[in-house]
C-alpha cells in the first residue's frame, strides 16, 4: 500500500515546528533569551513541586515541555486563507474556532489551525493562530483599493509548496523526502522580509489607517509574528523578564493565578523595532522601521463548559470595567488585584468544578473499580462511582484561544497596552467562505472527548448504568 510509505502528518508538523523555532530564534535573538528564561523557570518549578513533576511524567509531557505551543500569522486575502488551510492540513492542523477581533478595534477575524485528536495533540500540540485582514474596515476608499491591488499581486507560497500540497491531497500523504522538501518550502511563507514591497509613503498611509494593515500589506508574505512556549509559572516568567532585558506587556491576559488553572493565561514581550528597506518610488527612497515581531508565553488550564465560560466572561468583564489599564500600562497592579478578587466567585477545586458542571473532565476506571467489578454489581450513578473511588476524573486541557486575550496581545504589540471593551459583532460566514470550509466548534470537541472517556470507563466498569 502506498499509504505505508507516507510520513504521518504529526511527524510533518514536528519537522515544521522545529524548523520554525530554529528560524525564529535566529531572526529574533530576544526570543532565544525568553526561551532560556522559560526553561529556567520551568526547571525551578519542577524542582520545587514534586507532585507536578510526577503528573507531567505520568502523562509523558516532560520531554515536550520546551516545545513551542503556538505561533501566529496575519493574512491579506481570501485566497491566502484558502491555501493556508490546505498547507496546514498536510501537517494535521485543522481550523478550530472563530474569533472576531474587529470588536476590539483590530480589523481582523481569525481561527486556530491545530491538531484535533488526543493522540496528535500529545505528539505535538503546535498550532497557528491565523488572522485574515478585513480590508472593508478601511474607511478611505482609495486606500482600500490600493491595499487590495497590492495584495492581489503577491504570492505568499512557493510554486513547489503548492505542488506538494496538491500531491498530498491527491495521493493522501507525502513520503519522508517529500515531507522534508515541503517543510523547507512552506517555511518560506513565514520568513521575515526586511525589504518592503511598498514605498515608505505608502507604508505610512496604511499605517495611519491601522498599524496592522501596514503590517499585512507592505510585505512579501505573512511573517510569523511570534512563537509561544509553555511555562509552568507564568507569573515568575513575567516578573523575570526585565532582569533579562525584556520588556513585558503590562498585564497577563486571561484568568488570575489559581490552584485549579482554567483556560489560558498569556503574556508577551513588546514587539521590536526593526529596520526596513522601503521601495524607491516616485522619488521616495527613504528607509524606515517596522514593529511586528515579539515573543509570548502561555500556561494552559482546564477547558470550561458553556456554563463555566459564561461565568468566566462575566467575571472578566466585571474586572475590566472596574479597572481600565491605560495606554502605557497604568493601573496594571490594580487590575490584577481586582481580577483576583472577582474570580473568588469561580470555584477553585476540581470536585466543585465538576459538580457544578463548569469544566470538562476525562474519566477513567480505577484499578479499584475494575477489581470491584469482578466481585459485585457497582453503583449506578457517575457521582456514586466517583465517590466510591471506582471512577477518576482528570482535567481536559483547553487547546484554544480567548478573543479578549488575543485582542490584548495584538494591542500590546501594536504599541499600546490600553484595554478596549467590546460588544458583539461577527462575520463568521464570510470567513468560512474565504477559508473554503467550516471551522470546528471547540466546545463540541471537548464535550465529545469527555463523553468518549466516560462511555469507555463505564463500559469497563460493566456498564452499571444498564
Ligand atoms: C495574534 C495575537 C493573538 C494569542 O495567542 O492570543 C495570539 C497576532 O498578533 O497576530 O497570538
Ligand atoms: Ni499568541
User: Which carries the bigger pLDDT value, residue 169 or residue 52?
Assistant: 169
Edge-to-edge, what's the strand order for the sheet holding 226-228? 94-100, 108-114, 127-133, 70-75, 226-228
Site to probe by mutation for ligand 1, drawn from 70, 216, 226 as the one with most ligand atoms within 8 Å of Cβ, is 226
| 429-454 mean pLDDT | 96
From residue 11, how far is each of 16, 36, 184 by CA, in Å?
Answer: 9, 25, 14
In this structure, the answer to whether residues 253 and 381 fall within a common structural domain is no
102 pLDDT higher than 90: no
Q: What backbone torsions phi and psi does residue 323 show, to the nearest 5 degrees?
A: -135, 125
In this structure, the answer to whether residues 134 and 281 fall within a common structural domain is yes
Identify the DSSP state of 102: G
In this structure, the answer to whether residues 297 and 314 fall within a common structural domain is no
Ligand 1 neighbourhood includes 223 CB (under 6 angstroms): no
pLDDT (tens digit per residue) in 331-371 = 888 899 999 999 999 999 999 999 999 999 999 999 999 99
Site to probe by mutation for ligand 1, drawn from 70, 102, 406 as the one with most ligand atoms within 8 Å of Cβ, is 406
In this structure, the answer to whether residues 352 and 366 fall within a common structural domain is no
∠ Cα 61 98 75 (to 5°): 90
419 pLDDT higher than 70: no
In this structure, the answer to whether residues 335 and 411 fall within a common structural domain is no
3 pLDDT higher than 70: no
**Protein residue closest via CA to atom 11 of ligand 1:** 72
| 15-42 mean pLDDT | 94
Strands 70-75 and 127-133: parallel
In this structure, the answer to whether residues 449 and 419 fall within a common structural domain is no
pLDDT grade for 254, boundaries at 50, 70 and 90:
very high
Rounded Cα distance between 388 and 383, Å, is 9
260 pLDDT higher than 90: yes
Q: Give how many domains the chain has, as a whole number.
A: 3
Neighbours of 198 (CB within 10 A): 21
Distance 390 CA to ligand 1 centre (A): 42
pLDDT grade for 422, boundaries at 50, 70 and 90:
very low
In this structure, the answer to whether residues 234 and 325 fall within a common structural domain is no
In this structure, the answer to whether residues 235 and 150 fall within a common structural domain is yes
**Protein residue closest via CA to atom 3 of ligand 1:** 406
pTM of the model: 0.94
Tell me the angle at which helices 176-190 and 159-171 cross, rounded to the nearest 10 degrees: 140
In this structure, the answer to whether residues 350 and 265 fall within a common structural domain is no
In this structure, the answer to whether residues 311 and 456 fall within a common structural domain is no
Look up residue 176 and give its three cell numbers: 519522508
- Give the helix ranges, DSSP H, for 267-329: 306-322
Nearest to 227 by CA among 433, 87, 30: 30
In this structure, the answer to whether residues 228 and 309 fall within a common structural domain is no
**Protein residue closest via CA to atom 7 of ligand 1:** 406
In this structure, the answer to whether residues 342 and 420 fall within a common structural domain is no
- Give the helix ranges, DSSP H, for 255-305: none
| Domain housing 310 | 304-356
Ligand 1 neighbourhood includes 271 CB (under 6 angstroms): no
| 43-68 mean pLDDT | 87
- Give the helix ranges, DSSP H, for 288-381: 306-322, 332-342, 350-355, 367-375
Residue 133: CATH number of its domain: 3.10.180.80
Residues bordering ligand 2, an ion, CB closer than 5 Å:
72, 296
Distance 406 CA to ligand 1 centre (A): 5
Ligand 1 neighbourhood includes 74 CB (under 6 angstroms): yes
Amino acid at each position: 500500500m502506498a499509504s505505508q510509505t507516507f510520513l504521518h502528518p504529526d511527524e510533518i508538523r514536528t519537522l515544521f515546528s522545529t524548523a520554525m523555532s530554529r528560524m525564529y530564534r535566529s531572526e529574533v535573538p530576544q526570543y532565544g533569551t525568553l526561551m532560556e528564561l522559560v526553561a529556567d523557570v520551568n526547571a525551578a518549578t519542577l524542582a520545587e513541586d514534586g507532585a507536578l513533576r510526577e503528573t507531567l511524567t505520568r502523562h509523558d509531557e516532560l520531554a515536550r515541555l520546551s516545545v513551542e505551543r503556538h505561533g501566529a500569522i496575519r493574512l491579506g486575502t481570501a485566497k491566502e486563507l484558502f491555501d493556508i488551510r490546505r498547507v496546514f492540513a498536510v501537517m494535521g492542523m485543522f481550523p478550530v474556532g472563530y474569533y472576531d477581533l474587529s470588536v476590539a478595534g483590530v480589523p481582523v477575524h481569525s481561527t486556530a489551525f491545530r491538531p484535533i485528536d488526543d493522540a496528535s495533540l500529545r505528539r505535538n500540540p503546535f498550532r497557528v493562530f491565523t488572522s485574515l485582514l478585513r480590508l472593508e474596515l478601511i474607511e478611505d476608499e482609495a486606500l482600500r483599493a490600493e491595499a487590495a491591488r497590492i495584495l492581489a499581486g503577491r504570492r505568499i507560497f512557493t510554486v513547489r509548496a503548492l505542488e506538494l500540497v496538491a500531491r498530498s491531497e491527491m495521493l493522501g500523504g507525502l513520503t519522508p523526502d517529500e515531507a522534508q522538501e515541503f517543510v523547507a518550502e512552506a517555511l518560506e511563507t513565514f520568513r521575515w522580509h526586511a525589504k518592503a514591497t511598498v514605498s515608505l509613503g505608502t507604508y505610512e498611509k496604511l499605517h495611519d489607517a491601522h498599524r496592522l494593515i501596514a503590517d499585512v500589506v507592505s510585505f512579501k508574505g505573512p511573517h510569523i509574528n511570534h512563537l509561544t512556549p509553555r511555562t509552568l509559572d507564568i507569573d515568575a516568567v513575567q516578573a523575570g523578564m526585565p532582569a533579562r532585558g525584556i520588556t513585558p506587556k503590562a498585564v497577563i491576559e486571561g484568568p488570575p493565578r489559581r490552584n485549579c488553572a482554567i483556560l489560558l493565561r498569556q503574556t508577551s514581550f513588546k514587539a521590536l523595532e526593526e529596520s526596513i528597506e522601503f521601495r524607491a518610488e516616485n522619488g521616495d527612497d527613504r528607509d524606515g522601521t517596522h514593529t511586528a515581531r515579539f515573543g509570548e508565553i502561555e500556561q494552559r488550564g482546564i477547558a470550561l463548559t458553556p456554563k463555566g465560560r459564561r461565568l468566566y466572561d462575566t467575571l472578566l468583564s466585571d474586572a475590566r470595567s472596574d479597572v481600565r489599564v491605560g495606554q502605557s500600562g497604568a493601573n496594571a497592579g490594580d487590575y490584577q488585584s481586582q481580577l483576583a478578587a472577582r474570580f473568588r466567585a469561580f470555584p477553585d477545586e476540581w470536585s466543585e468544578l465538576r459538580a457544578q458542571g463548569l469544566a470538562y473532565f476525562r474519566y477513567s476506571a480505577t484499578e479499584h473499580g475494575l477489581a470491584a467489578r469482578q466481585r459485585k454489581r457497582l453503583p449506578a450513578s457517575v457521582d456514586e462511582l466517583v465517590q466510591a473511588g471506582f471512577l477518576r476524573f482528570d482535567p481536559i486541557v483547553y487547546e484554544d484561544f480567548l478573543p479578549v486575550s488575543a485582542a490584548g496581545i495584538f494591542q500590546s504589540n501594536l504599541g499600546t497596552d490600553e484595554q478596549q471593551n467590546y460588544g458583539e459583532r461577527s462575520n463568521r460566514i464570510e470567513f468560512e467562505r474565504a477559508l473554503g470550509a467550516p471551522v470546528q466548534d471547540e466546545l463540541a470537541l471537548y464535550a465529545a472527548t469527555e463523553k468518549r472517556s466516560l462511555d469507555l470507563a463505564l463500559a469497563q466498569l460493566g456498564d452499571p448504568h444498564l
